[in-house]
Structures are given as C-alpha cells and as structure tokens.
Structure 1
Amino acid sequence: MLWQLLVVLLLLWYFSKIWKIKTIITATRKLRNKYIAIPFLGHSYLFVGDNERHMNVFKMFSKEAMKNNYNMTSFWLGMDHYTVVVEPNLFELFSKECLEKTRFAKFARSLIGNGSIFAPVDIWRPKRKHLAPTFSTKNLNNFCNIFSQQSLILVERLQSTLTSDKFSMWPFITTYTMDSVCETVLGIQIHAQTDKEQPFLKALNEYLTVGSSRIFKPWLYIKAIYKLHPDSQILRRTKKTIWEFVSNIIEKKREDIKRTKSKEASSGVESTESFLDLLLESADGVKFTNHYLIEEMLVLLLAGTDTSAVGAGFTCVMLSKYPDVQMKVYEELTEVLGDDLRRPILHTDLPKLKYLHAVVKETLRLYPPVPIIGRAVEKDVLLPSSITIPQNTEVILSIWGMHHNPKLWGDDVESFIPERFLNGSVPSGAFAPFSVGPRNCLGYKYAMMSMVTAIATIIARFKILPAEETDNLKRPLRVKFSTMMKPVDDFEVRLEPRHL
C-alpha cells in the first residue's frame, strides 16, 4: 500500500507542476525540437555520458535552433525549461532584458560567493563600477611585461618536449596563465610553471573538475542530497585552501602597501600595480572588506586563468593543423620584431600583430572557451516574432551556435579562415566569445593580450606540428564541456625548434 500511496502522491505533484507551467508548455510548442522530452526527466536523459557527450548535446540543440525560422529551440532539464538562442539580435535583446544569471550560477557562488561574474544584479552593478577603471589601457599595457616574462619561462619549459612525441599543451599553458594572473591580479609570484605541486593551483583544479560534474545531474541540485555526496566534502576542503590562500595575500597586501609606496616615492621607481593594488588604492579601497576582495580576486583568477589558457591552447592546435597560416604568423613576427625574434614582446608590438589577432579571433569563433551563457527570465519577454518567452524559465545564449550559424557566416562557416577578421566580413554582433551586453566580460582585452603574447613567443621559437600526421587534419576537433569547452585530447601537439 505504501508504494501505491507514493505513486499517487508523485502523480499529484507532477500534474500540479504541469498545471503551473502550462503557459511555458504552450510557448514551447512554437519552438521546434525533434528530441522527445520524457516526463519528469525532460531532455536530461540526453546528457547521460561523459563531458564530450555533454558538449555534443549542446551542439545538437544549437543546430535545432539554426533550423528553426525563429533561430531558437527549447529543451527541458527535469521540470525546468530552457530556450536556446543562436542569433545576434536575440542575443542582444536577452542580454539586456535578462541580467540575472541562471540557477547554475549558484554552483559557482559556492566558491566565489557574490563575485561580480555571477552575482545578483543589485550586487553586480556597484561591483562592476569598482572594477571597470582597473581595466584601463594604461594598466593593461603595464601588464604586458609580466605576460612577456612568463612567456619566456613557458618556452623554456617547452624545450623539454622536443625529445618526445606528441604531448599536451594544457599543463604548460595553464600554469603560464596562472602565473600571469596571480602576478597581475594579486601582485605575487607563485611559480606555478616551475612548482608542479603548488597547493593553490592543485586545489583550484580539483574544485573546478569536481564542481562542474554537478551541472548535468539534476538529482544533485537539492542541497540536502548533495551534502551527503562525497564530492561535497572535496569542495569544502579545496574551497578552504583557496580562500585561505587569497585571504592571506590580501592581509599581507594591506600591511605592505603603504610601506611599498613610501619606498617607491623615495626611490622614484614605479612598479607594476596589480588589480588588488589598484582596488585598495581607489577612493573606495578602504571600505572594501576582505570578504569582498576575496570574491572579486577569485573572479579575476578563475576567468583570467582558464579562459586565456583554453583560447591559447586551441590557437596552438589550429596553427599546427594549418601550416600556411602558421607561416603567415611567423612572417608577421619577423616584420614586427626585426632581427631579434627572441626578444620579449612589448605592448607596442601587440597592435602591429594584426594577422595573429585575426588567427586568435577565428579560433575563438570556432572554439569559444565559454560555449554557452545562461540567463534567468524573470518577466515575460515579448520577441519581435510575437513569441513570448515566459517568466520563470531560462535562456541559453549559445555562443557556439551563433559562431557556427551558416545563416550568419555563410556556407564556409566550418572553415578556418582568419582573413574574415581582416576584410570586414564578420556579421554584426555575431562574434561574442566574451559575451555581449551589460554583463559582458571586462577582461576581453586582458585575455587577448595574454594569448597573443604567449603565442607570439612560442611561434618565434618553435614550429607547432599536429599531434599525428593524417590526411584529415582539417576535420573539426572533438571537444568536451565542463567549466570550459576543451578538446578531448587536451591540446596535443608536437614541437620542432626553429633554427634562428
């Protein structure tokens, strides 16, 4: 009798839920999706599998949206509804109308709290105003020296791969970006490139790996259940390590900042100021609590490390598969750097590397590190097509989908053609690797500077070769999705030294 009662109660709950969301169901009938939603589960059954499967499902939904005249489709995760968008005008509309992040943001908040990237709107607005001035061109140019010095360490470490066959670029590039970010954000050197056991980096990588697996398991969304899961204990342990690390740096920075400034004033020498320095020295610096600063520093550390590393890694892989493109990059470097290709990259060099910038952008088009962005729909949104996206649903802005939409880019949308970004053929609003609208990424220029500096330093010294010699090098890369989109083989390539 008990199980029968449970079944009845479950059915009553289900139909009451259906009644409440009947408006949503009516709206979704206008958005074609050939994949069947199962009662209770929705489309979550499609996500069963590994990280490559997760990314493939997002591709499937994006392609469904491309086929639809409305450039949208919909899917369900359990009883939650999502609208997938792949068109620039819709991107702009939703990015302005829907500023709140999705429920998945709460998973990120377990680490970064109310850090600006995922913070509720009322917290995000003032934080963005505090952060925006620190991304001035002057400050970013000052950081180029750090990128250059860390890039030199990177290429020195890459020398060890010359005696091996294929290898993964990921541990080399991610430690380069971590060292660069820690020095530019916190003003410290953690030597992640030379210290493989660096505890902060290990804790951060472990947290991101474990935490991202929760996204595709709706049964773990319930806090009471997740607290009993082994992953929850790992997250608590690694979060403690991460927060203590950043907190100690902030405390030390508060103590050192006046003494450091005093020494600089007496010596007449200026040092490069980190984002933390700039925030503490701003008019509101004295008002920032350590908790506030930890949240914002973690946002910058996470966004700056993974996004730049993934973008640079994908670019290296694409250069290995397109030797003619790589040769053009090398020729541009010889023109800009002159006779000394081994000298550090200067901030004045970067604007001259136009073709390399185009290569990076075309790579980000095909392989955006953040392939999707989620937004909560808090009130009904009436679209130009007369379709209404109802409140209490969520929108997926598919960056991957918009970047691969043949209606925007043409029949050669899957081809790697850097010249798109030199000849003015980029569709308006269709390139958005760092999001769009008021909540777009403040660090776009920072990430580009970091990636271009590292890649230029690598290409000046090495030829990047494909991991394997095959007749089908130009086929699309197999990719997976966790916190970022990455290739299944973790950026495998081979290197050959250039004889200068």
Structure 2
Amino acid sequence: MLWKIALILIILWAIYSRWTRRRMIALTSKVLTMKSPALPFIGHSYIFLGTDEDRMNVFKRAGKEAIKNGGLISHWRGSQLFIVVADPVAAEFLLKTCLEKDAAIDFFKALLGNGSIFAPVPIWRPRRKMVAPTFSQKNLNSFIQEFSAQSQIMVKQLKSVAGNGVFSIWKYIAAYSMDSACKTSLGIDVDAQLQPEQPFLHSFDNCCRIDALRACQPWLHNDKMFKLLNPESYEQYTSSKKYMWNFMDKIISSKLEVLKKENIVYTSDEVPKASLRSFLEMLIESGGEGKLNALELREEMLVLVLAASDTSAAGAAYTTLMLAKHPDVQEKVYQELREVFGDSDRPVTAEDLPRLKYLDAVLRETLRLYPPVPVIVRHVHKDVTLPSGVTLVEGCGLLINFWAIHRNPKYWGEDAEQFRPERFIDTPLTHPAAFMPFSHGPRACIGYQYAMMSMKTALASLLRVYRVGEEGTTEGELRVKFDVMMKHVDNFQVALHLRTYYLVLFTILAPYKSLIPF
C-alpha cells in the first residue's frame, strides 16, 4: 500500500514539475539542449562529475556546441534551465539587462557575504557608486610603485630556481599578487613572498579549492548537505573562513581607530605624495551618510583582495606559459622592454606602462585564449527578448561562456584558436563584447585596469631579468581545469634563464651579493 502512495506522489510531483516548467520546456524547441541526455530529477548535472579538468572540459564542450547552434544552447540543472551563451551580441544584451546573479552561486556568500561580486542589485548599486571613485586612474597610478617593489622581490626569489630546470612558477606569481593586493587594498604587509606558509594565504587557498569543488555540484550548494556529504572539507572551509574574517576585522578595526584618532579627511583631489593610500583607507575616508560599516567594509575588502590576487596571478602565469611556447613573441616583448628601459635596472613606473604596447597585446591575447574566469552566471528575472528574436523566459539561468565567446570564429576569424598577439594591434574588435575577460556591462569587474597594470608590471620586471625557456612546455592547447579561477593542470611549469647582461653582472658581483639589484 505504501509503495502505491509513494508512486502516486512521485507521479503527481512529476506532473506538477513539468507544468511549472512548461515555458522552459517550450524554450528548448528554440534553444537546443546539449547532446548529453538530461536525466530525471538531476538534468545534466551528472556531466560535471569527475576532476576539475573534466568540469572545465564540459564548459568547453558546451561552448563549442553553442557556437555551432548560433551562439546559444541549453542544459538542465535539476529543474532549472540554463542558457549557455557563446555569442557576444547576445552576451552584451544580457549582461546589460539581467543584472542579478543566479542562485547557483549563492554558496560563495558564505565567505564573501554581500560583497559587490555576488550582492543582489539593490545592495550592489549603492556599493558600486561608493567603490568606483577609488579606482580612478590617479589612484591606480599611485599603486605602480608598490607593484614594482613587490615584483622586484619576486624576481629576487626566482633567482634560486633560475637555470635549474623546470619548476612551477605559480607560487611565486601568486605570492606577488597577494602581497600587492593586501598592500594596495588593506595597507598592510603580509609578506607572502618571504613567508610561503603565511596563514592568510593558506586559508585563501583552502576556500578557493573547496568553493571550486562545490561550484559544479548542486547537491553540495546547501550548507547542511555539504556538511553531511563532505564533513572534512566543511570543517576546513569553516576554519579558513573564520581566520580570514578575524584577520580582516582586526585590520579594519585598527584602521578605523587610527584614522579616527588622527582625524584624517582628504578631499577627492588631495593625495599625500609621500604615502600610499589603500582602498580601505579611501573607502573609510569617503564619508557621507552612505558610509560603509565594519561588516560591509569586510565584505568589500575580501572581494578586492581575493579578486585582485587570484585574477592577476592567473593572467600573468598564463602569459608566462605562452611566452615559453612562443619564443619569437617573447623576443619581441624583450626588445620592446629594451627600448623603454635600456640596460637599466630602474623600477617600472606608471609612465612606462602605456609604452609597453606589444606586451599589452600579448597579455590581452593570452586573456582571450585563457580567461582566468571562463564562465559567469546570471538570472533571468523577467522575460527578455534577445536581438535575434528568441525570448528567454523568467526563471532561466544564464551561463555566459567567455571561453567560447573569445574563440568564436565568427568574430575572431578562422585562426581564432591560434595565439597571435598582433590581432590586438592590427585590427579593432569586430564587436565590443567579443573580448571580455573581466566581464562586460554595468557589473563588469571594476578592477580591470588595476589587474592589467599589476600583470604588466610583474611581467616587465620578470622578462627584463629572465628568459622563459621552452623546456617543460607542450605543443597545442594548454590543459586547464576549473578551480574558481581557471588554472593550468600542470601548475604552470616553466624554466627560467638569466639574461646575458644579468648573468655577467651576477658573475662579476657574486662576491658582493649586496650590490646585486635582484
């Protein structure tokens, strides 16, 4: 008898579910679903099982299928229909129209709360208005000195592995990015480059690793289910989150107290020449009735530090790999550096960066092929009709596939899969949204220029001293994995060799190590 009741309930639930999804089901006649079959209850969620590389391969495959189907394809995540977007025209329209983030990424709020990346629109709008002025070009230029100083430490740390064969350059670039992000965002030195076991860096890595595990597995999104199914990871995440929150709270409390005692208030055009003002100080000093409280400051600072460090590190690391794979391109970059810096070992300045046009093109071409954030999600909160005439219905999720958009041959030509930096010099973009490694529209990454300046400074400092060797690189496309930020499967393995000038300098000054500038 009980099994009959259970069967009836299941049938009734299936009928109700199909009825509530009828408009989404109708939409699949216009936006084809992925070739993989959708299973009852879970839809296509099962295709995301496996390793981080397997999950990234799913995003790549979905992107290719979308390109073949006019830029759109759909898949089911449980009972919700997601539209995969691989066309810049549709992506630009949707990123300007659908501003709400999808509930599929709500679990990120466990760490970041209502930080600007994940906040609902009513919270995001006023926060964006407060944070935006701190990213003025004048403020960003003031950070170059810090980027340069931290990149010099990185160059010095790399000396111990240069000439010793293949190694992972990731930890060196990641530590540089973390030091730069903490100094410019919080005004503190965490010394991640000199203290690899720094607790904040370790906690940060833990949270990123575990969030990547949860991202593509909907059954782990709910905290209670996550704790039940993966208690060890849950405990690690909770402990790491607690450390990061306490770390941030202490810094913010201390900074608030110092500024209150000193009664420091600057006008928007008044910047002390002798000191670097961090983003935290600028937000505290902004004042007004909309002033952020301590909790809101913590949320925004976590977003700034995490986004600034991991995004910049991934972009610079991928560029290093591409230069190793393409020695002819690396030589052009080096010749440009010689034109700007000559044989001097002076630090990189804000005035130098605009002159490094070819390095900029190399960096952009790398970000095109290997965007650190390969996909983002949004939510369709009301029916919206695309320029193509297709109407996406309320309740759908959107998966904007940057990986596919950046490789769409309709906008990048038949050589879209090839690494050719000159395309960013020779011809303008065929569509403004064809290249968007930092997203597009009102909710695009506010730190785009910050990240570009940090990466260019680090790469310029690195390539002036070292040649990136071809050893350890492989032919063809790099193997990548989905790890919140897209990472290299082989952990960015390269070989470094001292440039001839520095090799001679090192040999001559070896007895006088304190005189060696790196």
Which TM-score band (shorter chain)? over 0.9
Letter in 1 for 2:308: G
Deviation of 1:5 after TM superposition, in Å, equals 4.2
State yes or no: 1:79 paired with 2:83: no
Identity across the alignment (%)? 47
Indicate conservation of the 8 Å contact 1:464/1:494, yes or no: yes
Please, which of 250, 253, 277 is the counterpart of residue 273 of structure 1?
A: 277
Aligned to 1:353: 356
Aligned to 1:171: 171
Aligned to 1:287: 291
3-state SS, counterpart of residue 395 of structure 1: strand
The C-alpha deviation readout for 1:310-363, integer Å capped at 9, x for no partner, is: 0000000000000000000000000001230x2210110000000000000000
The C-alpha deviation readout for 1:247-274, integer Å capped at 9, x for no partner, is: 100111112225567799xxx8630100
Letter in 1 for 2:238: R
Letter in 1 for 2:41: F
Indicate conservation of the 8 Å contact 2:169/2:493, yes or no: yes
Indicate conservation of the 8 Å contact 1:280/1:286, yes or no: no
Aligned to 1:130: 130
Indicate conservation of the 8 Å contact 2:88/2:405, yes or no: yes
Map 1:306-345 to 2 at 5 A: 306-340=310-344, 342-345=345-348
Deviation of 1:223 after TM superposition, in Å, equals 3.8
Please, which of 464, 468, 481 is the counterpart of residue 464 of structure 1?
A: 468
- How many angstroms apart in 2 are the aligned matches of 1:197 and 1:395? 38
Aligned to 1:419: 422
- How many angstroms apart in 2 are the aligned matches of 1:154 and 1:286? 39
The C-alpha deviation readout for 1:53-72, integer Å capped at 9, x for no partner, is: 10110111111110113x10
- How many angstroms apart in 2 are the aligned matches of 1:94 and 1:235? 33
The C-alpha deviation readout for 1:17-69, integer Å capped at 9, x for no partner, is: 11110110110122223222122221112111100010110111111110113
- How many angstroms apart in 1 are the aligned matches of 2:222 and 2:331? 53
Deviation of 1:78 after TM superposition, in Å, equals 1.6
Aligned to 1:475: 476
- How many angstroms apart in 2 are the aligned matches of 1:46 and 1:154? 40
Deviation of 1:212 after TM superposition, in Å, equals 1.9
The C-alpha deviation readout for 1:287-311, integer Å capped at 9, x for no partner, is: 3211010000001011101100000
User: Over aligned residue pairs, what C-alpha RMSD do you find?
Assistant: 1.8
- Cα distance, 1:269–1:456 mapped onto 2, change above 3 Å: closer
Indicate conservation of the 8 Å contact 1:114/1:123, yes or no: yes
Deviates more, 1:485-494 or 1:9-18: 9-18
- Cα distance, 1:242–1:354 mapped onto 2, change above 3 Å: same
- How many angstroms apart in 1 are the aligned matches of 2:387 and 2:276? 49
Deviation of 1:481 after TM superposition, in Å, equals 0.4
The C-alpha deviation readout for 1:154-185, integer Å capped at 9, x for no partner, is: 01111111253211111111110000000000
Letter in 2 for 1:402: I
The C-alpha deviation readout for 1:115-142, integer Å capped at 9, x for no partner, is: 0111000000000000000000110000
Indicate conservation of the 8 Å contact 1:186/1:274, yes or no: yes
Indicate conservation of the 8 Å contact 2:163/2:497, yes or no: no
Indicate conservation of the 8 Å contact 1:95/1:436, yes or no: yes
- How many angstroms apart in 1 are the aligned matches of 2:294 and 2:222? 30
Indicate conservation of the 8 Å contact 1:112/1:295, yes or no: yes
Aligned to 2:242: 240
- How many angstroms apart in 1 are the aligned matches of 2:439 and 2:265? 41
Map 1:111-130 to 2 at 5 A: 111-130=111-130
Aligned to 2:94: 94
Deviates more, 1:3-12 or 1:459-468: 3-12
- Cα distance, 1:223–1:203 mapped onto 2, change above 3 Å: closer
3-state SS, counterpart of residue 427 of structure 2: coil
Letter in 1 for 2:107: F
**TM-score under structure 1 length normalisation:** 0.95
- Cα distance, 1:227–1:262 mapped onto 2, change above 3 Å: closer
Aligned to 1:144: 144
Aligned to 1:454: 458
Aligned to 1:398: 401
Map 1:376-395 to 2 at 5 A: 376-395=379-398
Indicate conservation of the 8 Å contact 1:151/1:176, yes or no: yes
3-state SS, counterpart of residue 214 of structure 1: helix
3-state SS, counterpart of residue 494 of structure 1: strand
- How many angstroms apart in 1 are the aligned matches of 2:418 and 2:58? 22
Aligned to 1:54: 55
Deviation of 1:7 after TM superposition, in Å, equals 4.4
Deviation of 1:215 after TM superposition, in Å, equals 1.8
3-state SS, counterpart of residue 24 of structure 1: helix
- Cα distance, 1:208–1:6 mapped onto 2, change above 3 Å: farther
- How many angstroms apart in 2 are the aligned matches of 1:163 and 1:415? 29
Q: Which runs of 5+ in 2 are unaligned?
A: 267-271, 502-518
- Cα distance, 1:34–1:243 mapped onto 2, change above 3 Å: same
- Cα distance, 1:381–1:25 mapped onto 2, change above 3 Å: same
3-state SS, counterpart of residue 338 of structure 2: helix
Indicate conservation of the 8 Å contact 1:109/1:118, yes or no: yes
Please, which of 443, 448, 459 is the counterpart of residue 444 of structure 1?
A: 448
- How many angstroms apart in 2 are the aligned matches of 1:486 and 1:382? 35
3-state SS, counterpart of residue 278 of structure 1: helix
Deviation of 1:486 after TM superposition, in Å, equals 1.1
Deviation of 1:426 after TM superposition, in Å, equals 2.5
Deviation of 1:285 after TM superposition, in Å, equals 8.3
Aligned to 1:494: 495
Indicate conservation of the 8 Å contact 1:115/1:295, yes or no: yes
- Cα distance, 1:225–1:348 mapped onto 2, change above 3 Å: same
Deviates more, 1:328-337 or 1:217-226: 217-226
Indicate conservation of the 8 Å contact 1:161/1:495, yes or no: yes
Q: Which runs of 5+ in 1 are unaligned?
A: none
Aligned to 2:378: 375
Deviation of 1:453 after TM superposition, in Å, equals 0.3
- How many angstroms apart in 1 are the aligned matches of 2:320 and 2:359? 11
The C-alpha deviation readout for 1:50-108, integer Å capped at 9, x for no partner, is: 00010110111111110113x10001112121001111211111011110001133111
The count of residues paired between Structure 1 and Structure 2 equals: 492
State yes or no: 1:67 paired with 2:68: yes
State yes or no: 1:435 paired with 2:439: yes
State yes or no: 1:251 paired with 2:246: no
- Cα distance, 1:222–1:254 mapped onto 2, change above 3 Å: closer
